[in-house]
Chains A and B, each alone.
Chain A
Amino acid sequence: MDFFFDFSAEAPKLLQLLIGVIAFLAFVGLMLVLLDRAPMKERSWGHSLLLLGPALALLAIGLVVPGIRTTLLSFMNGDSSQFVGLDNYLWMFTQPEAITVLRNTLIWVLLVPLLVTAIGLVYAVVVDKSRFEAAAKSLVFLPMAISFVGAGIIWRFVYAYRPEDANQIGLLNQFVVWLGGEPQQWLQEAPTNTLFLIVVMVWIQAGFATVVLSAAIKGIPAEIVEAARLDGATPLQMFFRVTLPSIRPALVVVLVTQSIGTLKLFDIVRTMTGGQFDTSVIANEMYNQAFRYGEAGKGAALAVFLFVLVTPIVVYQIRSLRQRREA
């Protein structure tokens, strides 16, 4: 086998990168020059507008206007040429294949935040103040750096299937065989295959929960812990009566973050099953409808539904933000 690496094909890309970096430097330089030119006043719209303008413009072009347009598109047909009213939403809530997608998303969003929080919490508690705490936390935290695609491949390898008479190459099936069972096609049998995909997400995210909750546990005032201990609290009592109530805000952060992340989950399903075998979720189905089947209306309806699902979280976060700012 000979090498294939064509440097002439790569040069234009690096040139493009150079252009991008130069554009960045030019932008920052221009901003600073303009800022230095403008005279300082106590209240000046000029400064604020100059500083905020670029970001606000991009947010408008990239998020706000598209969000509104997507909402409009969700009332149109596949190629957005005709108004169809609520048809797309009717499709979403009545067609069996769409209902499977909603059911899967529900399973995901119920299980992932709970499992991630539970495992992260247990791990944070058991390694707390142990000799290897930093290293132990790093091990679990490491999957955070891995892409969902990479993690998908790692776990497909764990779930790999070989017929009964062949050597197993997937760890899970090997364990099944060692225990005397028959190897299974883990990712092809609904509805359990969704659970095997959920394992991957939990595996990636548990480190996040561990780190956030561990920091919260360390923040519990020593006096409270000492007082409980003097009162003769057992470790279990300590956990449920002291630790849990003290770290409630951090638990909420983890649960909320995980719920949002899970709702938008796309990569794992796409890499591992492509949404086949009844494993599709909203974000994956939205991609399929809008970008593969040319059904922009259905895709938009799914996206809007996703937005509706996160809206309560947005409202909750704004409320807690305002409380924090007033405090």
Chain B
Amino acid sequence: MTTIAPSVAVKTEPKTSVGRVRKRLTSRTASLIAVVIALLWTTPTFGLFLSSFRPEDDIKGSGWWTFFTNPALTLENYREVLFGSSSSSGRLASFLINSVVITIPSVLFPLALATFAAYALSWTRFRGRDWVYIGIFALQVVPLQMALVPLLSFFSQGVEVFGITLMPAWNLEGPGQFIQVWFAHTCFALPLGVFLIHNFMSELPGELMEAARVDGATHGTILRKVVLPLVAPALAAFGIFQFLWVWNDLLVALIFSGGTADTAPMTVRLAQMAGTRGNEWQRLTSGAFVSMIIPLIVFLSMQRYFVRGLLAGSVKG
């Protein structure tokens, strides 16, 4: 382990040969540790990736490392897992569309709602404002397991108090079921969203708001013209967070989306395949990669914002 940087090390080169040897050793150990960790962290994914292009018999009959002595590649696994007609193939194309349909509104709604709420908590004044904020903040840590059963019955039975129906059952069917998934994701996302966006928004200079107000701007105008452009990075950070969360979520999807090709996202399908056909590696490997490709692209292209969101100190679930 060493904290000495190469550039600095040049300046403070140890005078004695013993010191020099020791320094070289520590930096060599450091590099070794770094390489070992990096290998451990990439090899499993690489193995899966390579396997997803190998013919079925090869995957099941030999390890992926034998590929280098016996190379054979095919796209058949992807074709089958996406579009295959037998009931045991993945039919992932359908689930992929479901994932998209679930994810887009589940990102948009929390973004808007959290932005409005964060604005109210930063730039309008009312009594108890701090307590409302602290309450929302605390909800961040509440396990969503606490909410699942009652929220499901809220959708299926409506709300009844002392025999008076306050809210009828939603009775959603077919594609309408997406609405309850959007709704659940939006509710669960708000605490983190309000917290993250409020963090950035409350740091904007008050004079800016004051100036706009003196000019006769309404809250609507201030929000649109002054605040939004300035907090765009925070919105991006939360947007990516929420995108990855929803796209990769299994629990909420299992409970609120049914579990069929009509509405369930890819994670549900992959979990099913892993459970019942746990040894159909040609479908599992390619299926897993289909589900990873979009979040990986989003993640790599917007990593900067994601890191910023992380560093704002966030806890979600």
**Does residue A180 face the partner (Cβ distance < 8 Å to B)?**
no
- Whether B188 pairs with A62 at a CB distance below 8 angstroms is yes
Q: Give me the interface of B with A, judged by CB distance under 8 Å.
A: 1-7, 12, 26, 30-31, 33-34, 37-38, 40-45, 47-48, 51, 59-66, 80, 82-86, 89, 91, 93-94, 97-98, 100-101, 104-105, 108-109, 112-114, 116-117, 119-121, 124-126, 129-130, 132, 134, 136-139, 141-151, 154, 174-176, 178-179, 182-184, 186-188, 190-191, 194, 213, 216-221, 223-224, 244, 247-251, 254-255, 261-263, 267, 270-271, 274-275, 278, 281, 284-285, 287-288, 291-292, 295-296, 298-300, 303, 307, 310-311, 313-315, 317
- Whether A317 pairs with B59 at a CB distance below 8 angstroms is no
Residues of A close to B275: CB separation below 8 A: 271, 274
Residues of A close to B281: CB separation below 8 A: 157, 160, 169
Residues of B close to A274: CB separation below 8 A: 275
Shortest distance in angstroms between B184's beta carbon and chain A's nearest beta carbon? 7
Stretch at the interface among A45-53, A100-108, A109-117: A45-53
- Whether A264 pairs with B267 at a CB distance below 8 angstroms is no
- Whether B146 pairs with A304 at a CB distance below 8 angstroms is yes
- Whether A155 pairs with B145 at a CB distance below 8 angstroms is no
Shortest distance in angstroms between A98's beta carbon and chain B's nearest beta carbon? 16
Residue-wise interface mask of A (283-317) relative to B, using a CB-CB cutoff of 8 A (1 in contact, 0 not): 10011001100001001101110110010011001
Residues of A close to B63: CB separation below 8 A: 167-171, 174
- Whether B213 pairs with A40 at a CB distance below 8 angstroms is yes
Between B33, B117, B134, the greatest number of chain A beta carbons within 10 A of the residue's beta carbon is seen for: B117
Shortest distance in angstroms between A64's beta carbon and chain B's nearest beta carbon? 7
Alpha-carbon separation in the docked complex, A304 to B108 (Å): 31
- Whether B119 pairs with A51 at a CB distance below 8 angstroms is yes
Residues of A close to B151: CB separation below 8 A: 61-62, 66
Give the number of A-B contacts (CB < 8 Å).
407
Alpha-carbon separation in the docked complex, A146 to B275 (Å): 19
Between A52, A59, A272, the greatest number of chain B beta carbons within 10 A of the residue's beta carbon is seen for: A52
- Whether B292 pairs with A145 at a CB distance below 8 angstroms is yes
| 9 A-B pairs with least C-beta separation | A62-B187, A147-B248, A35-B220, A51-B120, A4-B85, A66-B150, A129-B5, A145-B299, A55-B117
Binding site secondary structure of chain A: helix
**Does residue A28 face the partner (Cβ distance < 8 Å to B)?**
yes
Stretch at the interface among A86-94, A132-140, A190-198: A132-140
Which residue from chain A places its CB closest to the CB of B152 in the assembled complex? A291
Alpha-carbon separation in the docked complex, A208 to B303 (Å): 12
Which residue from chain B places its CB closest to the CB of A58 in the assembled complex? B187
Residues of B close to A147: CB separation below 8 A: 247-250, 267, 270, 291-292, 295
Residues of B close to A260: CB separation below 8 A: 141, 315, 317
Residues of A close to B1: CB separation below 8 A: 122, 125-126, 235-236, 239
Q: Take A43-B125, A129-B5, A155-B44 as given contacts and tell me if A264 and B317 are in contact as well, using a CB distance cutoff of 8 Å.
A: yes
Shortest distance in angstroms between B37's beta carbon and chain A's nearest beta carbon? 5
